[in-house]
Structure 1
């Protein structure tokens, strides 16, 4: 496990787990249950690592349906995702899709105990859907679902009000926020979503994202709101750039940036 994952305690009973592909998931512990937020690519034994940290039963909640957040979900039994992204989750458990992913994208990039055959043929456990306002009760620790459609149709954040933490998935981060993908909604929808998240800002102090530095200051959210507003008002334009996921317009702000499609405003 140590060759693939890095674990960092980021708050009381809260751990950030990064794999070597620089994707983060989070383990949150209450008194009765623990919650794993996202599952990375599944190229290492995340289940074993989680069990080494907590003896409590685990629920898994997925912030959105992209493969770097869902492909490790097969290692767990109780899964939760928005209804809007459930189809995407299932699509990344198609055997041919997984075969192409592992052979074309990662090849030999995985942990020492990785089984390619097991990864390709992985099947999902029980999957339940979640929505805005749902609360996960872990025992003297509650996490509330906030819907943030934009990066994907069913992206969510999770609010831990007692500990003043917001788990933001890929919707708020210092790494570029990708809004030029086939799975992305118009930039105006994303703007409305992050304004909605900002309406809870008195309840959190730190943001824990799916990529990049963690934790980050909540001021990043206001930076995104101001920048996206200027794009939508025509006051700011991004520069064309070819990314791994196709061409997009890149707008760099102070501590973060966004990549968007000019035809999806």
Structure 2
């Protein structure tokens, strides 16, 4: 792409880099003394391998937070760079299919609509309201006719509590099902940094998609709220980082959803799938419609 390119890259903590596809997916590169770790590879729209190699020449471990296409889209571009592609053991059989054309076309439409609406918001911001941040603006969408997300077979299976030693820093694997059965977060106790994937996001939590489990989501977020999190790095949206207070609020929200203490309304997600919308301050939770619900 011309201009600023598809990615927005910035150092968010010492040796930790956000590689964002603004408005879409946030991937993170963590650099140790001996090994670099890339947590998620994004949409596969841009060349994430090039972004990684501009930041480090160390051997590379790719960790996918879960098996959804938008978090493993760049795996294929890293086949010549990564020493391993690691996923939670519950996702071993979930990485075997490429993204279907209908999914790619559907997401392409969403991406164009997102850019259109962001452009309208930016125009309003330019009048003096300062609602947007040009450093992480939603990028123009490139030609997607050749876009594909190939399946890359995992070469390493991760388990709860496993430690990933990068040399000089170590991250622990936390199995956090809810959004998907194979979801994992990575926790660095020494810095209080949490790589959260889709277990924590600053927008709409998809707890209604196939494989999602609301009770498991609640248990996972409750577990994260018990950690001394200083910085939570999130998997989506322009607001890519939050602190301990936010993690606790998300856990409380899911507890309310599980206990039936919300008043959801019927809506559709961005793909057009029906869902129940549970609204909270600054984010929302989508759950699958239940028979007899008519809000």
TM-score scaled by structure 2?
A: 0.79
Q: Which residue of 2 aligns with 1:150?
A: 178
2:265 to 199, 217, 239: 239
1:24-35 aligned within 5 A:
24-35=26-37
Q: Which residue of 2 aligns with 1:23?
A: 25
CA contact 2:23–2:236 (8 Å) conserved in 1 = no
Whole-angstrom distance in 2 between the partners of 1:166 and 1:229: 21
1:112-151 aligned within 5 A:
116=146, 119=148, 122=150, 124=152, 127-151=155-179
Q: Deviations over 1:78-130 (max 9, x none)?
A: 20011222333222x2xxx4444444532898658x8927x46x452652111
Matched, 1:49 2:76: no
Structure 1 residues 240 and 102: alpha-carbon distance in aligned structure 2, compared to 1, 3 A threshold: closer
1:70 to 56, 60, 72: 72
Which protein is bigger by CA-based radius of gyration? Answer: 2
Whole-angstrom distance in 1 between the partners of 2:153 and 2:23: 24
Structure 2 residue ranges without an equivalent (≥5): 113-139
CA contact 1:3–1:111 (8 Å) conserved in 2 = no
Q: Which residue of 1 aligns with 2:232?
A: 207
**What is the SS of the residue equivalent to 2:180?**
coil
Q: Deviations over 1:162-189 (max 9, x none)?
A: 221001001112111110101212x112
Structure 1 residues 20 and 183: alpha-carbon distance in aligned structure 2, compared to 1, 3 A threshold: same
Q: Which residue of 1 aligns with 2:130?
A: none
Structure 1 residues 27 and 240: alpha-carbon distance in aligned structure 2, compared to 1, 3 A threshold: same
Matched, 1:189 2:216: yes
Matched, 1:170 2:176: no
Matched, 1:83 2:83: no
Structure 1 residues 105 and 262: alpha-carbon distance in aligned structure 2, compared to 1, 3 A threshold: closer
TM-score scaled by structure 1?
A: 0.87
Q: Deviations over 1:22-48 (max 9, x none)?
A: 210000000011000000011111101
Q: RMSD of aligned C-alpha atoms?
A: 2.3
**What is the SS of the residue equivalent to 2:281?**
coil
Whole-angstrom distance in 2 between the partners of 1:136 and 1:37: 12
1:223-262 aligned within 5 A:
223-245=249-271, 246-262=273-289
Residues matched between the structures, number: 254
Matched, 1:59 2:61: yes
Whole-angstrom distance in 1 between the partners of 2:102 and 2:276: 28
Runs of 4+ in structure 1 off by over 6 angstroms are: none
Shift of 1:229: 1.7
Shift of 1:58: 0.7
